[in-house]
A and B are shown apart, each in its own frame.
Chain A
Amino acid sequence: MNPAAQAQQQDLLKVEPASPAASGAPVTPTTPVLCLCGAAARVGGRTLWSGVDLEVQAGEFVAVLGPNGVGKSTLVKVLLGTVPAAAGDIRVLGRRPGEAGHRVGYLPQRRSFDSDLRIRGIDIVRMGLDGDRWGVPLPWSRSRRAEQARVDEVIELVGASAYAHRPIGQCSGGEQQRLLIAQALVRRPEILLLDEPLDSLDLPNQSAVAALIGRICHQEGVAVVMVAHDVNPILHHLDRVVYIAEGGAVCGPPSEVINSETLTRLYRTPVEVLSTQDGRLVVVGQPEAPAVHTDRHTGREK
């Protein structure tokens, strides 16, 4: 990204901070935007995790980690309200899940568009703004200009201006992912729920998208909950980690959670965390969750 574009983005960020007051929510810095207390989830008669306690403040970057099939995506769906929690108290922006509406942005797991889908990226972003309103957009509507401006602004923010007018089917995986993040951001959410956004991206794109999410989180004050299977690309941006394994979960700063002691306690089997020279973490000996494949598929079809 060239310096000029970056400077421009900085300007935009200063002009448009997502202040809680603007969206009419009485969220003070001391109230957590997200609060789970003794939460549990059950899918298909199997308890995925239980007794999960978590509080997320505005502007915090939280990663949800763990092996395949432990219910990381289910956690996001519970927060969205599309999967009911089996137990516990869950508050999203002080309300029950699913009631916070457009104040929650969501990026589902691994979406790709048909390569012959001839709809522009900007239209996909625009859907995030007004896609749930009935009727068709009218050319003489008064709010049109403002909405157009907001879409352009958010596309600029994620650095997707160069290809937003191209059919989304012709964009690369990384480009599509940026546009989809723009879509999740377009309504100025206070919480961003991301389900493996770095999946299927190459390494440079992974770190670029991770940096983008980190910047949005810390500069715009958006709380980010991100499901990831690899912590390393986001390690520098993280405030807290939720590590789910075998029915339970541990929360805390990355260094306190991703270490041999904690993970050994969580898995009840010896697990070792190695740190490479460049600060990357490698978890050795972590057992896989049972019934990985069936579980993942049933989860996805929902």
Chain B
Amino acid sequence: MNLYLASAGANAWSQPFFQHALLAGTFIALAAGLVGYFLVLRAQVFTGDALSHVAFTGAMAALAAGYDLRLGLFTACILVALLLAGIGRRGKADDVVIGSAFAWILGLGSFFLTLYTTSASGMNDGGAGVRVLFGSIFGLDAGQTLVAVLVALGVGVAVMFLGRPLLFATLDESVAAARGVPVKALGLAFLVLVGITAGEATQAVGSLLLLGLLAAPAGAAVRLTDRPFRGLALTAGLAVAEMWAGLAAAAWIPRCPPSFSVMAAASLVYAATYLRRPTTRRSRTVTA
């Protein structure tokens, strides 16, 4: 729908839809970057993948039932995050179990999509599925932008608050547990944050693409620095910069969907990190 408004070109900068997108995008990218850094360090990217698909099903279920799409997004993501944390030991579920569960949830999503597009309210809204899957950041209105910014800020503050113990629990779980760090509760809280972020980012780049927003800046930062908190800051910075670059490209290039240009910017930055040799000397090979 609003995707092709982008062809307005340079005029886009002054349009309210672009300003909303810029504002919401900035904060969503910030939250996604911060959460993504820990997601990559904890090797839980696949969990993020699962949650992103849950976002689709949740949104479709809400639409089919006639509620606001965001209600379904957040409810589904948080519930499944709690579930994944619950079935896995130490808040980390087995990949096969995650995969099995989200394969079905995705099938359920296709069911709700059919239900919605064949229902009375969704008859004229054939693009709803595509919008949820691939995002519609240029379609946010002022109210949606405000909610998105507030939720993203909340996620950011929570990640900063949990930051150090979460890092400890991630890198060195048994010692952290012996030190009294609530390892299990942290794993759970973190997954809930991932769930909320997935719901957030779905509005920006869509449930299929939000994985890139979570993983790409963090993947690049992990390759660029080996200091954890510098890496966290770098991830957030890269995510925001990539979002801006993507939005600008979408405004300038006709018919370029913003979701694609954001992903392209993120992937380009990640690919560029392969050109640079890691800073550390690999003076000797390590025998494990």
Contact = CB atoms under 8 A, between A and B. Distances in A.
Note whether A and B contact each other (Cβ less than 8 A): yes
Interface of A: 80, 82, 98, 101-102, 104, 106-108, 111-115, 117-120, 123-124, 127-128, 130-137, 165-167, 170-173, 183-184, 301
A133 to B, nearest CB: 6
A167 B231 CA distance: 13
A166 B162 contact: no
Interface stretch (B50-58, B146-154, B220-228): B220-228
B120 interface: no
B160 A167 contact: no
Interface of B: 41, 43, 89, 160-165, 167-168, 171-172, 174-181, 222-223, 225-229, 232, 278, 280-282, 286-288
Contact of B164 (A112, A133, A166, A172): A133
9 contacts: A123-B227, A127-B175, A131-B172, A132-B179, A132-B181, A136-B163, A136-B232, A173-B288, A184-B175
Contact of A131 (B179, B232, B286): B179
Chain B interface mostly:
helix
A136 B229 contact: yes
A117 B179 CA distance: 22
B89 A301 contact: yes
A287 to B, nearest CB: 30
A104 B178 CA distance: 9
Contacts of B178: 80, 82, 104, 106, 108
B160 A127 contact: no
A135 B164 CA distance: 6
Contact of B180 (A132, A134, A165, A172): A132
Contacts of B180: 98, 101, 132
B181 A123 contact: no
Chain A interface mostly:
loop
Given A101-B180, A127-B168, A136 B287 contact: no
Contact of A124 (B163, B172, B280): B172
Which of A98, A114, A166 has its CB near the most chain B CB atoms (within 10 A)?
A166
Nearest to A128: B175
Given A124-B172, A166-B280, A131 B223 contact: no
